Chains A and B, each alone.
Chain A
């Protein structure tokens, strides 16, 4: 569901009417054989499940008995389901605040890491390290940092006279906590930004400098426009990943409340779309309903991506483009 297709890749099927030479045929077969693993994988593990889930979304299906066709009932019920809207709100919150903050933070970090200072590579490693920590491990770690009484964060805050909030158990703070947790792991985005910052042509910077532009003007008028394609890429990847936000929330609610009904704890504030989908499918065995949820999510992501791509024409700049 996550693939973004680029523009036409220039691949054309050979013209079948003209007779192929033996060599072309052989090459074709070799080529097919080389990608056959992918083709099999794609059909068996991506296309077939997608088509099947589309079918299930119009049925009542609980795994064992044959699916029963019920038309649009799942989709209609979904729009009357308050928890669907809660989960959509929670997820949108993460997309809007989480993704934008992570872009700002990672761009800022990349700018800092791009400074020619001693120990530059060490800093780069330090900033990248958190992103290779497995999600579950880092979430559990953060549960400790965010512990309201004995956690590192609130202990530091208490030294400056602030009584920190109950990060993970207060519904107003649980999503910001997760955003904070996410910001810790933006190493991947930083690296992508860093690569594109190094690609900003020196000539342009020099020209701007000669024209008397200060640091801020150079950043605003040269650097940011020139990295805008990368911003677009990071934005789209971030939006897609955040719409599917699951593992951290799953671990968080398990940590906050040890019972199975704790999904979304505290008070459904971390009931994200994928968490709700998981609950419907794998806790309640409502595979039909869960499939409908999955297709709505797919459409939401598709529309968001298209809107971003379309709007990007106005704010991205391609060198020589």
Chain B
């Protein structure tokens, strides 16, 4: 009997057990390279022994160095050091908000969580600060501003913002015998065009698709707005899943899967390459029309991955019987807020007010190819050089521009709607029973959340 062998085995087992234990430690979310302090910070740290430090966390950003250098301007003017951390993951943000040392200013990609954070007292209400005149609230576009309002109080301010429009591939339009300069004028026409733009080979496999309503992610909010409503009542107290606009939007979306073979559409679209890659379904000419945001015509997207793409951008069309809903769009995007745990709120507010000044908004949003939230910034000629980008600027300023309504259960509602949309589109289920069940589940949750103020 080989005792030595067994001992060796035992050691191996012990070591591997440790390794396994380590590997099943608490689940960590996407461990991408977050939280790395950008360069330039270290070298600035040396001078001025007791310089005040302000911390800004940004949940997005593929160019941390640019963000840091932008905030360095504030630092130099006010003799403070601004540390920018970008991109920060949502988990870290939640941990920081509940901790004692939250960042002085937090910049989020969208306002979705602000409602529930406001309810939990994690965010500073801004109404008192807004009265000091450092920020001209009339200079902020109404639609993006309204996304920061929760129960009549502002909890954040929009920095940049996003909206969506229709993109179409002019080459594919020509191939299908359509006028490449003429995008669909109604939602009905869009479906007709999509049919002409869809190609199926002899085996019944799709090789080109006209329009995919949930490409590259859900746009149910836009379609619902076009159908004349939203899934909350205006005051955010009632869930309106079973209202005509929501049902109508889902049914309109469903035809793009279920008038074809839903499995084939899904199989075809799931084979598309990454969003930011030349294999993006739209860039690669596999989808003829898509709904996407103002960043697409910019230097970081189509110009970078498919500069030769021959395409147009137009407002998403209204339904044929409601031409007055022309240019309806849902504006939502980057917002800045002050966590309630910040001790020196006045200084944080001063920094935030600086961020909101038209020059800074213009500079950052030009660099990022996002819509400026400030009306003065929007006058900046740099925003008007790109005609395709201008389409979005006009949409945001349009009286039909709307913002999502904030409630404390936005996340739950978003998940529920996402799952319903998935079932309706990918399995051709009837939307009504699903919406009914979702509403019955979520309305009590909303009532409870609202009453627990």
Contacts and interface: CB of A to CB of B under 8 A. Distances in A.
* Pair from one complex: yes
Contact of B23 (A65, A170, A241, A266): A241
B120 A279 contact: no
- The 6 A-B pairs with the shortest beta carbon distances in the complex, nearest first, are A261-B418, A149-B271, A246-B27, A195-B9, A63-B98, A261-B415
B216 A258 contact: yes
B275 A250 contact: no
Nearest to B412: A284
A107 to B, nearest CB: 15
B180 interface: no
B1 A319 contact: yes
Interface in A254-288: 254, 256-263, 265-268, 274, 278-279, 282-285
B74 to A, nearest CB: 28
Nearest to A243: B24
A274 B419 contact: no
Interface string B9-45: 1001100110111011101111100000000000000
Interface of B: 1-2, 5-6, 8-9, 12-13, 16-17, 19-21, 23-25, 27-31, 90-91, 94, 97-98, 116, 120-122, 216-218, 263, 266-268, 270-271, 275, 340, 409, 411-412, 414-415, 417-419, 422-423, 426-427
A166 B271 CA distance: 9
B27 A192 contact: no
Contact of B12 (A166, A195, A285): A195
Contacts of B24: 2, 240-241, 244
Interface of B is mostly: helix
Interface in A125-155: 136, 147-151
B418 A166 contact: no
A310 B98 CA distance: 43
A247 interface: yes
A8 to B, nearest CB: 18
Contact of A279 (B13, B122, B409, B415): B415
Given A188-B16, A250-B30, A267-B427, A64 B122 contact: yes
B60 to A, nearest CB: 13
Given A63-B94, A278-B27, A263 B13 contact: no
Contact of A261 (B8, B97, B122, B417): B417
Nearest to B94: A282
Given A169-B267, A284-B411, 14 more contacts: A63-B97, A64-B340, A191-B16, A198-B9, A230-B13, A237-B17, A244-B27, A250-B27, A258-B216, A261-B218, A261-B419, A266-B422, A267-B419, A285-B120
Contact of A62 (B120, B271, B415): B120
A126 to B, nearest CB: 18
A261 B414 contact: yes
A259 B418 contact: yes
B97 A64 contact: yes
14 contacts: A62-B120, A148-B271, A169-B266, A201-B2, A241-B23, A244-B24, A244-B27, A250-B27, A257-B422, A259-B218, A267-B423, A282-B94, A284-B412, A285-B116
A238 B9 CA distance: 19
A266 B426 contact: yes
Nearest to A251: B30
Given A136-B31, A150-B271, A254-B30, A195 B8 contact: yes
Contacts of B419: 261, 267-268
Interface residues of A, number: 56
A196 interface: yes
A188 B19 contact: yes
A74 interface: no
A25 B271 CA distance: 69
Contacts of A285: 94, 116, 120
Contacts of A259: 217-218, 414, 418
Interface in A278-316: 278-279, 282-285
A3 interface: yes
Contacts of B19: 188
Given A136-B30, A233-B13, A166 B266 contact: yes
Given A258-B275, A259-B218, A261-B418, A250 B29 contact: yes
A168 B267 CA distance: 10
A283 B113 CA distance: 9
B341 to A, nearest CB: 8
Contacts of A246: 27
Contacts of A168: 270
